[in-house]
Each structure stands twice: as structure tokens, then as C-alpha cells.
Amino acid sequence: MPPDNRKRRSRPSVLVNPPSGPGPLRAGGWRLSDRSSSYLRGAAEQPIEWFPWGPEPFELARRTARPILLDIGASWCHWCHVMDEGTYSDPEVARLLGQHFVAVKVDRDEHPEVDRRFQRQVGALTGEGGWPLTAFLLPDGKVFLGGTYFPPADGHGRPGFRRVLSEVARIWSDEPERVQQNAAAIQGALARMRSVRSAVDVALDSFASRVVGEVGSSFDPANGGFGTAPKFPHPTAVSLLLWDEFQNRNAESGERARETLARMADGGMFDQVGGGFHRYSVDGGWHIPHFEKMGVDNAALLSAYTEGAARFHDSRFEDVVRSTIDWVRSVLADPRGGFGASQDADNAPGDDGGYFTWTRAELKEALDADEFRFVSRFFGVGTDGRMPHDPDRNVLFRLLSLAEAAEGLYAPERAGRALDRALDKLRAVRARRPTPAVDRAVYSDINGRFIASIARAGSFLGDETVVADARRAADRILAEAYQPGRGVAHRVDGGSSKGFGLLEDQVAVASGLLELAGTLAEPKYLAVAGSLLELIDAEFRGEGGLLRDLSPRLYDGPDVAGVSEPSYPLEDSPHLSANASAATTFLRLASLTHDDRWREKAEGILASAVRRVGDSGLFAAGSALAVGLLTTAPVTVVVEGEGPRAAALLRTARRAWHPNVWVFSGHPPPPFSLPAGLEGVGSTTEPRALVCSGTSCAPPVSEPAALGRLLASGGRPSDAP
């Protein structure tokens, strides 16, 4: 498989800086052994004299006039492990680094603000980024050379790192002007990119339809999804298509959204045995994934499939929602509340998906004869899911329908139960395999996304225990990572929570608390969400009213290598960008409190954002969706009364789909606010639903079927069938 790239349109050692004080000198990555990051701790035994991120290595580089080798990776990253196990364990690489460089290792999940800046610089040089990110820096932090994965010796179509290090050391010594010219060229390219982007003039009222057209142009009619291999899920683009179908009655957009969800659910990117989604597909047909499972991906896809299940009443999508929640609970959930960051792709050095894949012999041993034939047909064993490096191993994906796979083996009505039995057996076998490591770090941005998606999913499913998982995550963040006037810390870690001042954390947690508040009609979550949005509005503003990715006043990380310089997260990557997410969350708060100043703030962000992402196509889907919500009247549903009929009305309302809807059981307490059309309307013990689209309210509805028709029309009674 290729390195983990993403395209934007993918034991000898030399002691560098021995510790002071008594005791023996320590070689290798001893500075990483006590770090909170599992990725850094995993490198502590390497012969490289690693420094963690901070001012010390930059000061050493200045003092010794050496370049910096920066490695950015993550515990979930397969090719980061390959480089750690091969390249950074190579004695000659260690010797060259110790003699000529200062080596710095960064966990991108722990320091997203660092990763963002260096991905951008390397991308300006090479046209791509990804992990591992390998960058060579001047002592002031400017990149002059970079790439991704390098083997120790020439191979994989890439130059060997020994040769790269020798050549960089030679250029640094013999051609310093070339080094400076490279660094200046990268900075010039970034300046030109900013200038070109800011010159695009796009009218706000036409922006959403323009991006919908560009998303449609990138749609893959053969396989669903967008673009070609490697194929990433773009859940925000799916949400944009669903909005377009609803708002503009564009049936084609709805079909594209449905086809994308269906093909991803049937493909190998979805773990057919264990639930949850792998990161992306290396092929265009969703057959063979990059096997890491990331919290940020699964939170976003959980939201998309909840939307799809509600919009299309598709039981398969609902199954995906349930199985993804089951995976999150069984693998990522923290006993104290909240969720870990990721599950690794590999279970041992040299492994590539062994835990998740199957040989025919393994399947035959786990299943009886009929089950084996059935599973082999259903999951396409021996076809497009064969692993390129080991064709005996198969990624399971849904090739046939249940009826087709069961022909001659099971009656159609028994096929579903037969599949469930077979999957139970496969799960039992997998449970005995060495399990890929889980990064248990609890990060606010990932957990904010999970709180939102799990609260929505629990409400849709009518499962209070699922909503309770979202509540426990929220309560832990509020107890351990939130400080009034300072916001939330990036890492949630008891009394030592740290990493304040990052935009993504504030936006994600505010969004999650807002969804949870609306689900539970709980004022405390609404109050903190509002406070976080006030903080964002006051502390993160920058050029043109856009939001910076960090607040210089609140940021508590080391201010080295230009980290505090303005940076604006505007494009989806592929998940919703922080500026688009903030605008959407402002709009959601406006619809929940009927305070129009939040709508105005959202419009202000978007007016500037669309000029910067006007030519970004698929990667502007989040901004386009937020712009679309500006023109879409929110829907408020209040279900009154008690007993089975009221429960049926509430269930109907919570399983309906609308791009901006709030559903309450009874009249919510302050500071929640209902549309003016419901002011003064007293509650009743008789079951009924009150539905308002914007400030226009329909007559009360007492039957679930009538309520379903009304909500399908967007709460617009004149359009209801």
C-alpha cells in the first residue's frame, strides 16, 4: 500500500544533548519515555535522540547551527509504524541524525496546530501531505525540504533516508544559500496561495448551489462517493446533497447521497465483522481500506448514517448506526466517560491488516460447511477484497444480496439469521487474535464530535443508554477540561488537562453540548455551549472576521516555529472545517434560542469564508452547507401529553429528517426559547404535536402518520401530501 497520503484536489547513536546532573548518560529517545502521548512513548526505545515538541530543540539548533528533522505521525498511522520500525531503527540513520541534525517527534493528534502548519508548508513544496510527515527545518522553524515516508535504503519507489540525510547534511554545509532559497520559495508559495484564494469573489446567495454542482461533478456513478482512488469518505458532502434534495427538490442529489452511503456500508471500508469504519479506501470501489479506525471519522460517519437512516427509512443504514455505536462502546469508550482517539491498523511489526482480514482456511475452520459457502458468496471472498501483498487474505465486503448468497443453502427468510450466526462465530475468532492497540487519549475535539453524533443517534434510535454515553462524555469534559473564560483544553486528563486555546476544541465541544442540550432539554449544557460560542466570537477573530485556529491569548503551548502566526481552517479535510462548523453551530444556537445575533455572526463568517474557499469544490462542502442553512427555515417540534400516543408522536418526530430540527418532549425550560407562534400556547395532557417552520406554526397534529407527512414537507403544511 502507498504511504498514508492525502491529496488536496493525500543501534549506535551520538548523544546530542545529554541530561545535566549526576547519573549515567542516556542514549536514544529517553526524552519521550514519560510523555503522555502513546505515539511518542512508542519511540522511546529507538536509537534516535528525539526531542518532543518545545523550545529546547529549536534553541539547540540555533546554538549548534544544525537543521531540524521534524517527524509528525500518530499511533494509528501504518506507515508511521513502518518508518519507526525500519528507518528510525536503522543504525546508520541514527548516526547521521545524531551527527548532523536535531530530531523532533510530534504526535499530530496531540498537537494539531503544529501538524496544520507543517502540512501546509510541505504541501506547498510537494503538492501533497500526509503521515508520516518528514520535514527539514531551519532553526527558526521554516521548512526547506520535506516529504512523507522514506525507507532506510532506496526502495518503494522512494529515495532511502540514509541517502537523503547525507545529501541534506551536505547541502546544509556546502550550499547554505540553496537552503535559504528553498525556504523562501516555500514561504512565497504560501503567500501566493493566500493571495489567490482571497481574490475569488463569490456571491453568498449562489455559493451553495455552485458547490453542489462541483460535488456532483466529482460523484463516482459506478461506485458512489467522490473522486477516484484513494477514496475518502466525505460525510459533509453527503449532508450537503441531502440539504439540496430537501431545499431545492433535487432528487438527483438525494440519490447520490443514498448511493454513497450504501456503497460505503457494503464495502470493505466498513468493518463487516466488528463494526465501525476504517479511514479510507485505497481503491475506487471501497474494497480494500487503510485499516486504522479513527474517532474523528467514525463520529462524522455516524452522523451521516443517522441522517441517511432518517431520510431514507433504510434499515441497512440503521444497522450501520447501531454497529458503529457498538464498536465505539467496545473499543474507544473510557470507563470514566468519553472516548479514545483511534484504533491502530496493525497488531504487530510488519503486519498490515491481519487482525481485520481472513483467509479461506480461517473462515472454513470458524464456520460449518453451509455457513462457509454462504459467507464466501456474500462477502466476495477471493474477489476484489484480496490483499495485494497477500492474496490469500481477504477484506470482507458485501458482494451479493442475502437472497443471492443464500440460494441453495437457506430459505430467504432464514438468510438474515444465518448471517448473524456466522458473524457471531467470526467475532469470537477475531477476539482471540492479537488486537491492534487503541490510543486511549481523550481529546476534546474528537469527543465534542462524538457527543453530537451519539446524542443524535441515540435520539433517533430511541435509546436512552446511547444518549447517556454522550452525557457522560460531556460531563467529564466539563469537570476536567473546561474553565469559564478560558474554554476547553485539548487533552482531557484529570487535573493535568492541557492545550487551551485551540479553535477546533471549542467549536466541537460547543456543537456537541448544543446537540445534547436539545436532546435532553438540559439548560446547563446549553449555557456552557453559549459561553463557548461567546468565547470563540471574542477570542478567535482574525482577518475579515474569520476564525483563527488558535487564540494567541489563550494558547498555552510553546510559541515556537511560528505556531502563533494566523492560520484559518476553512477547507474540509475531509471533515467539516472549524470555520464552517462554527457558522453551523451559531445557526443551530440561533434556531434553539431564537436569538438572531447568532445568525448574523454566522453570516459574517460565511461572507468572508466563501471568498477564500470559492474554488475549493468538494472541500468547500461544509461552508456550502452552512450557507444553505441560512436560507432554510429551522423546524421546532413540541410533543405534549402522556401515554402511548404521545410516545408514538415523539418517536415519529425523532426519526424524521430535516437539516435543522429540534424535537422536545413537552415545553423546554429557559433559556430554551420556542417560536413566537408557540408563545402563550398552554400544554395539554392530550397527546399532540406542535410544529413550527421558522416562525410559522401548523395546527396541532395528533396522529403519527399526519406528523410524519408534515415533517417530510419540512413543517410546511401547504406542501404536505
Residue 202 lies in a domain: no
Phi, psi (degrees; rounded to nearest 5) at 426: -65, -35
Mean pLDDT calculated for residue range 310-332: 98
Residue-range definition of the domain harbouring residue 228? 219-434
Residue 369 lies in a domain: yes
Kindly state the percentage of the chain with pLDDT values over 90. Answer: 86
Mean pLDDT calculated for residue range 632-640: 96
pLDDT band at 158 (very low <50, low <70, confident <90, very high): confident
Residue 204 lies in a domain: no
Is the separation of the CB atoms in 35 and 109 below 8 Å?
no
Are 185 and 229 within one domain?
Answer: no
Planar angle of CA 488, 492, 493, nearest 5 degrees: 135
For residue 720, pLDDT beyond 50? no
Residue 26: predicted pLDDT = 61
CATH number assigned to the domain comprising residue 70: 3.40.30.10
DSSP per-residue codes, 36-90: S-HHHHTTTTSSS-EEESSHHHHHHHHHHT--EEEEEE-TT-HHHHHIIIIITT-
Arithmetic mean of pLDDT over the chain: 92
C-alpha grid cell, residue 404:
443471492
State how many domains the chain has.
4
Residue 716: predicted pLDDT = 66
CA–CA distance, 365 with 76 (Å, rounded to integer): 30
Residue 690 lies in a domain: yes
How far from 568 is each of 316, 385, 540, 542, 694, CA to CA, in Å? 38, 39, 10, 8, 32
Last residue in a domain, options 591, 612, 630 = 630
Q: CB within 8 A of 167, min separation 6: which ones?
A: none
Is the separation of the CB atoms in 435 and 630 below 8 Å?
no
Question: Three-class SS of residue 8?
Answer: coil
Burial category of 681 from C-beta neighbours within 10 Å (exposed 0-12, middle 13-18, buried 19 and up): middle
Mean pLDDT calculated for residue range 99-115: 97
Chain segment 194-242, per-residue pLDDT in tens: 766 555 577 888 999 999 999 999 999 999 999 999 999 999 999 999 9
Phi-psi region of 64 (alpha: psi -120 to 50; beta: other; left: phi over 0): alpha
CA–CA distance, 264 with 267 (Å, rounded to integer): 5
For residue 680, pLDDT beyond 90? no
Last residue in a domain, options 407, 434, 461 = 434
Are 651 and 585 within one domain?
Answer: no
Are 286 and 418 within one domain?
Answer: yes
Residue 646: predicted pLDDT = 96
Are 296 and 268 within one domain?
Answer: yes
Are 54 and 176 within one domain?
Answer: yes
Is the separation of the CB atoms in 660 and 587 below 8 Å?
yes
Residue 210 lies in a domain: no
Residue 213 lies in a domain: no
Are 486 and 533 within one domain?
Answer: yes
C-alpha grid cell, residue 208:
451553495
Mean pLDDT calculated for residue range 556-563: 92
For residue 629, pLDDT beyond 70? yes
**Within 267-359, where are the H helices?**
295-312, 315-327
pLDDT band at 190 (very low <50, low <70, confident <90, very high): confident
Model pTM?
A: 0.94
DSSP per-residue codes, 172-207: HHH-HHHHHHHHHHHHHHHHHHHHHHHT----HHHH
Is the separation of the CB atoms in 710 and 635 below 8 Å?
no
CA–CA distance, 382 with 365 (Å, rounded to integer): 17
Chain segment 339-376, per-residue pLDDT in tens: 999 999 988 887 889 999 999 999 999 999 999 999 99
Chain segment 522-534, per-residue pLDDT in tens: 999 999 999 999 9
Residue 605 lies in a domain: yes
pLDDT band at 676 (very low <50, low <70, confident <90, very high): confident
Residue 17: predicted pLDDT = 36
Mean pLDDT calculated for residue range 679-708: 89
Burial category of 391 from C-beta neighbours within 10 Å (exposed 0-12, middle 13-18, buried 19 and up): exposed
Q: CB within 8 A of 53, min separation 6: which ones?
A: 104, 106, 111, 114, 558
Element (H, E) at 483: strand 482-483
Residue 383: predicted pLDDT = 97
Question: Three-class SS of residue 557?
Answer: coil
Are 162 and 242 within one domain?
Answer: no
Are 467 and 417 within one domain?
Answer: no
Are 178 and 115 within one domain?
Answer: yes
For residue 260, pLDDT beyond 60? yes
Are 232 and 191 within one domain?
Answer: no
Sign of the C-alpha dihedral computed for residues 403, 409, 413 and 419 taken in this order: negative
Is the separation of the CB atoms in 447 and 509 below 8 Å?
yes
Mean pLDDT calculated for residue range 141-146: 96
Residue 163 lies in a domain: yes
Residue 273: predicted pLDDT = 98
Residue 210: predicted pLDDT = 95
pLDDT band at 53 (very low <50, low <70, confident <90, very high): very high
Q: What count of other Cβ atoms lies within 10 Å of the Cβ of residue 493? A: 16
pLDDT band at 16 (very low <50, low <70, confident <90, very high): very low
Residue 198: predicted pLDDT = 52
For residue 19, pLDDT beyond 60? no
Last residue in a domain, options 630, 662, 682 = 630
Chain segment 512-522, per-residue pLDDT in tens: 999 999 999 99
Residue 15: predicted pLDDT = 31
DSSP code, position 381: T
CATH number assigned to the domain comprising residue 588: 1.50.10.20
Are 176 and 296 within one domain?
Answer: no
Tally of helices (H runs) and strands (E runs) in the chain? 25, 20
Element (H, E) at 421: helix 412-431
Residue 596: predicted pLDDT = 93
Residue 157: predicted pLDDT = 80
Radius of gyration for the alpha carbons in the chain, expressed in angstroms and rounded: 26
Residue 23: predicted pLDDT = 34
Are 166 and 234 within one domain?
Answer: no
